[in-house]
Amino acid sequence: MTQEALADAIGATQRSVVNWEKGNSSISLEWADKVFKALHMSIQIGETEESGNGKE
């Protein structure tokens, strides 16, 4: 997906997408969520059953 197509899909400017990619600006969780959904991806923040809690 191009930067322009991603920007259109999430309602952001192409400049914002470029800046996020280059690390020139931080992406908020709200925008990150929109990016993940547009790319048909998901992210889990925090512990999962598989990651365990470090105790055995």
- CA 38 → CA 9, 11, 26, 41, 46, distances in Å? 6, 11, 18, 8, 22
Which distant-in-sequence residues (6+ apart) come within 8 Å of 35 by Cβ? 6, 10, 20, 27
pLDDT of residue 37: 95
Residue 55 confidence class, pLDDT cut points 50, 70, 90: low
What are the pLDDT digits (tens) for 5-35? Answer: 999 999 999 999 999 999 999 999 999 999 9
The phi-psi region of residue 40 (left if phi > 0; otherwise alpha if psi is between -120 and 50; otherwise beta) is: left
Task: For residue 53, name the pLDDT band (cuts at 50, 70, 90).
Answer: low
- Residue 8's CB: how many other CB atoms inside 10 A? 15
Q: Supply the pLDDT for residue 52.
A: 58
Domain boundaries, the chain: 3-38
